[in-house]
Amino acid sequence: MYAMLLGIACLGGFGHGVAMAIKKKFGEGIEKYWLEWKWWVGNILDALSGICIWPAMPYVSVQIFVPLIIVIQLATSYVLGLLVFKERCQMRRNLGMSLAALGVIGISYSTSHEAADFTIAQFWAGWVNTRFVTVNLALVGLLALGFPVLDRTTFWALCAAASEGIQYICSRAIVDSVYDHMHEALAQPAVLAAFVIKGMCILSIIHCQQLGLESDLSRFAGMYLVACVMFTCVEGWAFFGDALPLSLTFAASAFFTLSGIWLLNQKGDPSDEKADKLEPDAETGKMPQSQPVKAA
């Protein structure tokens, strides 16, 4: 059962990667992207993929569950960016993705695989416990300080990842309630509140994703998905009390993850950006020649 739930969740991670590519394809550069019906295909696939992920949440600890799904989604988005969108393959980004994947895998190996016990009766108390409030104040402060200095793609990736952390809390609370109360789960006021908060998070994630997808899919997906690991693991630990050990392996894995984010955030060389802007002539198929600068 454990392996089957993880397998279904991995399928959901793959679907999330494909959905992100569809939303980039049919929403990039369009101000009112929500009026494009093909863009909605990506959102429908995103929702179905999320449903595949839900059943494993109450059984698998957030520190192994989220990295596993994110690595699959990250790899899917990266490959689609190279093959479908013809994005330039850069050694810096390849190294960044590799470090990020290595880091999140190391995080999963250094933590417990079982989720902490949780009941829907603990839902309201979780939002006001000192640990959760402190963590979220720190995250809000991080985003506020980063706004004037970070690249806009990076900022929107972090905002979407922060919303993913809150959405994870709501999703896990809902699934836990369904397992505990079955058909009576919707009668719980806390479950209805979780649905409302989750819906608000989804709207925030969709908008922030679309703003961030103006850059390369592989670059945005790398920053967004790896940030999701950090935000969701910390939020899950703060809210549910899942184990978050302070071991050497965990610290090294976190360092690799943050290093990967930094490398993925680096812009390409100016020469690469100029080369990307040059397109072959429609009739001859030849690349345009640079014009010599005339002497004054």
Q: How many residues does the chain have?
A: 296
pLDDT digits (tens, 9 = 90+) for 60-118: 777 677 777 877 877 787 788 778 777 777 777 778 778 877 887 787 677 665 667 78
The amino acid occupying position 205 is I
Average pLDDT over residues 120-139: 91
Residues near 287 by Cβ (< 8 Å), separated by ≥ 6?
Answer: 278, 279, 280, 281
Residues near 141 by Cβ (< 8 Å), separated by ≥ 6?
Answer: none
Report the mean per-residue pLDDT for the chain.
78
- Least confidently predicted of 18-27, 183-192, 238-247: 238-247
- Greatest Cα pair distance, the chain, in angstroms, is 82
Matching residue, tokens 């093959």: 83
| Contact assessment for residue 221 and residue 20, using Cβ atoms and an 8 Å cutoff | yes
pTM value is: 0.64
- Least confidently predicted of 2-16, 50-64, 281-295: 281-295
Q: Which residue has better confidence, 139 or 263?
A: 139
Q: Is the pLDDT of residue 174 over 80?
A: yes
- Output the pLDDT for position 170: 92
- Output the pLDDT for position 17: 85
- Output the pLDDT for position 134: 94
Q: Is the pLDDT of residue 292 over 50?
A: no
